[in-house]
Chain A
């Protein structure tokens, strides 16, 4: 018998702290630190001719002003290209401060450090930068036309060109009995966490050590990057991610210009320095995503079965490529969803424009992929006058075909092989949940009342839990508490709760006894980060493995104390017991004491473990040669490849016949992320994901003008949905455990977002009777489409 905590919907233990305003976010730290602010380019493309700081020097409280000229060594070189790829033939990254050229509005040109942020901004305002503006490249058309280049040495603006193919897709399309061609576009949006980026650095001159707090999705990697950039030995650098107010992808990029400059200035000045990004900076100086345009050629048979699928697309990667081409690679490979494509070919070009860079944003290329694939499925169904669910069903990979090899290479460089999933069962569930087969009756009823309604369905498969690895350390303290540390970070996912559940179950202790630390390199030095729906899969399994090791050690020590065999013991509720003889038991905290022979006693518990009380034979060392003191262990989880979660969304919308407003009447989600650690947390992930999916489909976009100015760089004009715009989400789960990891889990973080644009486009199209090929869509645009349809 073990204490069951896995799978229980226990409340998130971090919520009382976070909801009551007791979180410790970046700007809550370092009250006495100097403040940094940045002079940023007002031009999308320009040469920097001169930087005149003379008027800024008059600002009382000014401490320092830095420009590119002040940087030397690795700091004077471009920032790292984090994920090189052979197909990224012209990858480019920015300098920490502009080196003679700026390539997007918002690029940092000078850094000011002052007594407080007010004064720092005063000084920024007084720095006169002379620019020679250049004609910018804005939008995919301009990038392709290449009349101007974003980087002089990349005259065609093409950063990467990649083709993946299995079979002869073009021949298969040409030979198919039916063919369709579609152009499908998605506009830019952004992660837009409520807390922007932020960095706070403390340099201890006597110790020659650096501590940096960063609002990041990867503290371990920031640590290594800073050591390289700043020339400080890595063992003298600590990086801590405090409470982080959302990441969604943007905070996986590192090191940001500000992230190296703030510690660099702290070392130079010997003072604490802090920078907390404001919202305007976040819009123009962090990252966006989603901007892609796809051309689909598809050939299919009379049942709508895919025979050949040929997709070409253009990806707008902005001015630089620090995160490589992960997003378009994911689109190219995840486009296939739950379907067998026949022959498949995907070709993309990743293009430079004079706009903010791109990083993966929750979904990371999959929302575009699902939009392209699912709109294609709808188009096939319309062409054949068949039910949209039926056409999808005809193309499903069957459970008996798992593992299913697509013969493509995924974003982690590994073969794209689906490990598990039951797509027909998922479809059954979503059809039941939304009432797919009863919808026509509802449509007629609504029509009779002068209402216009529509229904949409969209499927997705999501590769989650990418490697290379995560690790965890689990220790039982002599007071009985269990401390878990893992290196990946937390941005609100509930890791303190979920990992505690995993450890509690693996160890056999009440979950309340377990505390969890994440994202602190003082506690765990090796990790990758939190992104790609990987935390539960990667660290979850590492915690389970490390806790399993601790349990084994506890059984061994307890067996000696109880003079029995470890196989005869079990652990439950924090007690190690002889099976069938529960009166013979020893508390886990006592085992922890016995595991650590002591010379000194400092409380009642440790008195039990000093050398005159316990000890091995007189001729044996107190700690055996092959043993270690302490009841603790570290272990690692490194999967062969990603595990593939899946799901389906179905939506019912109503469109206003006069105003073209779109109202979501039902939003249904069926989701399979394998075994659930905590259903409540999974539901929360789905709800939050749906909110972002709805935002991307109906509200959010980045509106650049022809000069490369972002016209809606505030929360007044960038329309993130409020609670009032997010529908009630109805969910159902399917659990097909992953065979790839011990816990059988698959990632759940992005599932809610991925099919948002696809399913809403489908439902609106269904309500309106015409095909929507571009998202997001506003009432104004929907009305314009109606006018066009009506001639």
Chain B
């Protein structure tokens, strides 16, 4: 469990990092928190010839929040975002989901953008980005930065739209509309494990505290996060007495899980229903309390 030889680069600026990445192309890999990459290196499952360490690029360690939402820089650690008051106010779902990522030690080192780029189908943040309709900012030497919508960014298991030579500089999580609430629910075998099934739900209420729209995004039940529109099951129903089970049935029907060593596909499908119903109920309650607080 020792990595093979690689060349280590420590660029002093984003521009320099992009130059190195342009030169190394397919052979280069960005090292941020290293929580997935370093084990892959040690197990010799990945063997990039060049590692480009972005941990010294303070310009990427920013989490600005505005009316549009939260922009998470590439070097912002999970823990920083989890506990950032601005982010919590703008996009509560971020902190709700990050709390289920592994353990404190991992969250102190791992980065939000790193997790998104890694595109693990069991990871929380890709689903959060998909649910909120967020975007990734991708930079490369000699080109204008491009923005890729979450729906287009996650291509397959551990596969994203990031091209060789590109650096994901930030992720943008839009602020959900007023009158909405969110919840993250997942079931893991042990505290902090990858989810057997997980779901984020965003519910919007009207002024009468009835559901106007509801959406979910589920993890560990498909190759990429699975978005499900729950509006048909819940629209027009009271925030505290909607047919949550119907929302769950929509989710269960939408996912396409597989058997693995931890759970059967049938159990995962069952969980997709149960957890979506629970998350929808919590999200509606959160929306109601936000509305009542602002009223």
Interface centre among B2, B262, B264, B266, by most chain A C-beta atoms within 10 angstroms, is B2
Whether B4 lies near A722 (C-beta < 8 A) is no
How many Å from the CB of B219 to the closest CB on chain A?
Answer: 16
CA distance A722 to B192 in the complex (A): 10
A740 to B171, CA, bound (A): 70
128-143 of chain B: CB within 8 A of chain A: none
User: Is A658 in the interface zone, CB < 8 Å from B?
Assistant: yes
Q: Is B67 an interface residue (CB 8 A)?
A: no
Question: B2, A780: Cβ atoms under 8 Å?
Answer: no
- Whether B88 sits at the interface, judged by CB under 8 Å, is no
Per DSSP, are chain B's interface residues mostly helix, strand or loop, or mixed? Answer: loop
Is A699 close to B, CB under 8 A?
yes
- Known contacts A779-B267, A780-B267, A783-B267; decide if A279 and B262 are in contact (CB<8 Å): no
Q: A280-B43, A659-B274, A719-B189 are in contact. Are A784 and B267 (CB under 8 A)?
A: yes
Q: Is the CB of B4 within 8 A of A779?
A: no
Are B271 and A659 in contact, CB atoms less than 8 angstroms apart?
A: yes
Chain A residues within an 8 Å CB radius of B43: 280, 714
Once the chains bind, are A725 and B274 in contact (CB under 8 Å)?
A: no
- Which residues of the other chain, A, contact B4 by a CB distance below 8 angstroms? 118, 121-122, 125
CA distance A287 to B9 in the complex (A): 41
A784 with B44: CB separation less than 8 A: no
Chain A residues 757 to 785 lying within 8 A of chain B, measured CB to CB, are 778-780, 783-784
Q: Among the listed A279, A659, A716, A724, which residue makes an inter-chain contact with B191, where contact means beta carbons less than 8 Å apart?
A: A724
Report which of A280, A711, A724, A783 forms a contact with B270, defined as CB distance below 8 A: A783
Contacts of A783 in B (CB 8 A): 267, 270
A721 at the interface (CB under 8 A from B): yes
Closest-by-CB residue of B relative to A718 is B261
User: In the assembled complex, how far is the CB of residue B198 from the closest CB belonging to chain A, in whole angstroms?
Assistant: 12
Interface residues on A, range: 20 to 34
User: What chain B residues lie within 8 Å of A279 (beta carbons)?
Assistant: 1
Q: Which residues of B contact A513 (CB under 8 A)?
A: none
Would you call B191 and A725 a contact (CB within 8 A)?
Answer: yes
| Contact indicator per residue, chain A 691-720, by CB within 8 Å of chain B (1) or not (0) | 000000001000100000001101011010
Q: Contact partner of A658 among B44, B192, B264, B274, CB < 8 A?
A: B274
Residue from B3, B264, B274 within 8 A of A780 (CB atoms) = B264
Set of chain B residues within 8 Å of A28, measured between Cβ atoms: none
Contact between B2 and A722, CB atoms less than 8 A apart: no
Residues of A contacting B190 with CB < 8 Å?
699, 719, 721-722, 724-725
B196 contacts partner chain A, Cβ-Cβ < 8 Å: yes
A431 to B193, CA, bound (A): 35
A780 to B181, CA, bound (A): 30
Please judge, given known A-B contacts A712-B261, A783-B270, whether A699 and B189 are in contact too, CB under 8 Å: yes
| Measured CA separation A711–B259 after assembly (Å) | 13
Complex contacts, B193 vs chain A, CB 8 Å: 719
Q: Closest Cβ of chain B: how far from A716's Cβ, in Å?
A: 8
* Bound-state Cα–Cα, A525 to B194, Å: 49
| Shortest beta-carbon distance from A128 to chain B in Å | 16
Q: B241 interface residue, CB < 8 Å from A?
A: no
Which size bracket describes the interface of B in this complex?
20 to 34
Q: A719-B189, A725-B190, A779-B187 are in contact. Are A118 and B3 (CB under 8 A)?
A: yes
In the complex, B295 has a CB within 8 A of chain A: no
Q: How many angstroms between the C-alpha atoms of A397 and B192 in the bound complex?
A: 46
B293 at the interface (CB under 8 A from A): no
**Cα(A658)–Cα(B262), bound, Å:** 17
Q: Which residues of A contact B263 (CB under 8 A)?
A: 778-780
Flag if A122 contacts B187 (CB, 8 Å): no
Q: How far is the CA of A484 from the CA of B274 in the complex (A)?
A: 61
Q: Is A401 an interface residue (CB 8 A)?
A: no
State A787–B269 Cα separation when bound (angstroms): 14
Residues on A with C-beta less than 8 A from B264 are 780, 784
| A179 lies within 8 A of chain B by Cβ | no
Nearest residue, chain A, Cβ from B43: A280
Residue interface bits A628-670, CB-to-B below 8 A is 1, else 0: 0000000000000000000000000000001111000000000
Say how far A714's CB is from chain B's closest CB, in angstroms: 8
Q: Which residue of A lies closest to B268 (CB)?
A: A780
Bound form: Cα–Cα A278–B266 in Å: 36
Q: Which residue of B lies closest to A660 (CB)?
A: B267
- Nearest A residue to B267, CB-CB: A780
Q: Which of B189, B191, B192, B196 has the most CB of A within 10 A?
A: B189
- Residues 183 to 222 of chain B near chain A (Cβ within 8 Å): 187, 189-194, 196
Whether A703 contacts B1 by the Cβ 8 Å rule is no
Kindly state the separation between the CA atoms of A125 and B2 in the bound complex, as whole angstroms. Answer: 12
* Chain B residue with the shortest CB-CB distance to A122: B4
Name the one of A278, A721, A724, A778 contacting B1, with C-beta atoms under 8 angstroms. A278
Q: Chain A contacts of B1 at CB under 8 A?
A: 121, 278-280
CB pair B267 A722 closer than 8 Å: no
Closest residue on chain A to residue B274 by CB atoms:
A658
Complexed CA–CA distance, A711 and B262 (Å): 11
Select B2's contact among A117, A778, A784, beta carbons within 8 Å: A117
Which residues of chain B are within 8 angstroms of A714 by Cβ–Cβ distance? 43
Q: Would B2 and A121 count as touching, CB distance under 8 A?
A: yes
With CB as the reference atom, state the residue of chain A lying closest to B2: A118
Give Cα A660 to B194, complex, Å.
Answer: 18
Contact (Cβ within 8 A) A661 B187: yes
The residues of A that contact B189 with a CB separation of less than 8 Å are 699, 719, 778-779
Query: Is B187 in contact with A780, judged by CB distance below 8 angstroms?
Result: no
Distance from B266 Cβ to chain A, minimum over Cβ atoms (Å): 7
By a CB distance below 8 angstroms, the chain B residues around A278 are 1
Contact (Cβ within 8 A) B261 A711: yes
Question: 1/0 per residue B24-36: CB within 8 Å of A?
Answer: 0000000000000
Selected contact of B262 from candidates A118, A724, A778, CB within 8 Å = A778
- Which residues of B sit under 8 angstroms from A725, Cβ to Cβ? 190-191
A779 to B186, CA, bound (A): 14
Using CB atoms, name the residue of chain B closest to A720.
Answer: B190
- Cα-based distance from A716 to B262 in the complex (angstroms): 11
CB-defined contacts of A661 to chain B, threshold 8 Å: 187
- Cα distance A240–B286 when bound, in Å? 61
Report the separation of the CA atoms of residues A389 and B4 in the bound assembly, to the nearest whole angstrom.
59
A-B contact pairs, 16 of them (CB 8 A): A118-B2, A121-B1, A125-B44, A658-B274, A659-B271, A717-B262, A722-B192, A724-B190, A724-B191, A725-B190, A778-B189, A778-B263, A779-B267, A780-B196, A784-B267, A787-B266
Q: Shortest 3 CB-CB distances between A and B: which pairs?
A: A724-B191, A780-B263, A278-B1
Contacts A121-B1, A719-B262, A725-B190 known; 18 new A-B pairs at CB < 8 A: A118-B3, A118-B5, A121-B44, A122-B4, A658-B274, A659-B271, A659-B274, A660-B267, A712-B261, A717-B262, A722-B192, A725-B191, A779-B189, A779-B196, A779-B267, A780-B264, A783-B270, A784-B267
Q: Which residues of B pack against A, CB within 8 Å?
A: 1-5, 43-44, 187, 189-194, 196, 261-264, 266-267, 270-271, 274-275
CB within 8 Å of B: which residues of A? 117-118, 121-122, 125, 278-280, 658-661, 699, 703, 711-712, 714, 716-717, 719, 721-722, 724-725, 778-780, 783-784, 787
